[in-house]
Amino acid sequence: MQKRGLGKNGLHVSAIGLGCMGLSYGYGPATDIQEATALIRRAFERGVTFFDTAEAYGPYKNEELLGEALAPFREEVVIATKFGFNFDTSGGQSGMNSRPEQIRAVADQALKRLKTDVIDLFYQHRVDPDVPIEDVAGTVKALIAEGKVRHFGLSEAGVQTIRRAHAVQPVAALQSEYSLWWREPEHEILPVLEELGIGFVPFSPLGKGFLTGAISETTTFDSEDFRNIAPRFSQEARKANQTLVDLLAEIAACKNATSAQVALAWLLAQKTWIVPIPGTTKLYRLEENIRAAEVELTAEDLGNIESALATIKVEGDRYPAHLQARVNR
């Protein structure tokens, strides 16, 4: 698989990465450890070198899974993980925490769980309104100087936060949601990233599965699935948004590809420094997503997609109100 650069400090990764959250958290029961390990290792065999996790996924279990699965080829991959939350005794999030001492503690714990001596990319998971971003960036800068971290990243941060952090410690990558059904980053975020030389890592590049065409208004989700509380996944919103899925299916048929592959190819075509991280628990979906890097969309294809999208209004917020407040700070 082709490589792409994130930031200007030599961080190069596969054009498509693997978002590992869903193997342990967020979409129902965790995947069997052996199956999850096999999937992660198959991704590496197929050329994926960029793996995304976080202490919050489980919590902790996803980092432990990656540490074990990637150990045989640790030096050949890039592992991204995140800090920024407290957890209660039941494992639930109990508020944000990006205080310097917390960042340091999380780094040390993550190194052990990941079975490594350095974190390749260390993201602030969400911007903490109680801790100046300069303090956060300064702490990660110190960790980089100490050899515990290689690169600094932000997730769902707003423009001014990105600028302030970057002035203290260069930001290699911003991770935020971006896809054919969530294009908000195009307005302010992408121009700033291009100006500053920061890479972009879209999570949920397939709209949490919706853009694959496998979800309809009649689909039911596991009781532990996050999509049960996401307004965009209400039955009414799914019915209204089916128009976008139908459009993708038409384009995919013309390209001899799948809807998911077109959605990922569209992201890759936007900028050379964009690296999507689709997640999956299924080997056949993994293969499908990886082959999206081979789908070429011409300027005419992209123009046709743009014209068609202009006639479609996506319905529903992506987060409930209490979670939406955490993004673009």
Active-site positions? 57
Handedness of CA 119, 55, 271, 263 (dihedral sign): positive
Element (H, E) at 124: strand 119-124
Q: Are 7 and 41 in contact (CB under 8 A)?
A: no
CA distance 17 to 276: 6
Supply φ then ψ for residue 75, to 5 degrees.
Answer: -75, -10
The answer for residues whose C-beta is within 8 angstroms of residue 166's C-beta and 6 or more apart is 137, 196, 198
CB atoms near residue 81 (< 10 Å): 30
Please give the span between the terminal C-alpha atoms of the chain, in angstroms, as a whole number: 34
CA distance 45 to 132: 41
CA distance 276 to 258: 17
